[in-house]
Each structure stands twice: as C-alpha cells, then as structure tokens.
C-alpha cells in the first residue's frame, strides 16, 4: 500500500497495468483526469486489471489532492 498525505500541483500519476490497483482520494480541490480507469465511486478508481476482477494488490491512497492530477496506466 502507498499513502500520501497531500499531492499539490499539476502532474501525472503513473499506475501499472498489472497487478490490480486501486487509487482513492480523500478530498479533491481541482480535477482528477482518469481516462482509461474505472470509477468506483466519486473518488476511487481502478486500473483495468482490478476492474476485470484481479486482486487489488496495489492500493494508493491520497488524503488531499490540490490541482490537476492525470491518471495514466502504464504497461510494464
């Protein structure tokens, strides 16, 4: 599991395509661009592996996101 207290600014968060991954954000002041991810609620996102039923072996939690965060799934 990865936990970040605050992410500030505009940037890209690269999430691996495998294993299954879930990203959740406590509060957002700005935008989360999540093209290619499956929204699981308003502030929780799954990569393609987790969305298709794979175990969520990577869990990323951001308490506060300020700015614009682009989620990108990368293949390894």
Residues in the chain predicted with pLDDT less than 50, given as ranges, are none
pLDDT at residue 73, as a whole number: 94
**pLDDT score for 50:** 96
The H or E element spanning position 50 is helix 48-51
53: left (phi over 0), alpha (psi -120 to 50) or beta: left
pLDDT score of 42: 85
Q: How many folded domains does the chain comprise? A: 1
The per-residue pLDDT for 68 is: 95
Query: How much is the mean pLDDT over the chain?
Result: 93
Task: Give pLDDT, residue 14.
Answer: 93
Range of the domain at 38: 2-74
**Considering all CA atoms of the chain, what is the largest pairwise distance in Å, rounded to the nearest integer?**
32
């Amino acid at each position: 599991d990865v936990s970040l207290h605050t992410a500030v600014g505009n940037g890209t968060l690269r999430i691996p395509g495998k294993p299954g991954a879930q990203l959740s954000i406590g509060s957002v002041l700005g935008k989360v661009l999540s093209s290619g991810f499956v929204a699981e609620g308003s502030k929780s996102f799954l990569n393609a592996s987790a969305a298709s039923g794979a175990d969520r072996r990577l869990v990323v939690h951001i308490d506060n996101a300020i700015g614009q965060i682009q989620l990108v799934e990368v293949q390894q």
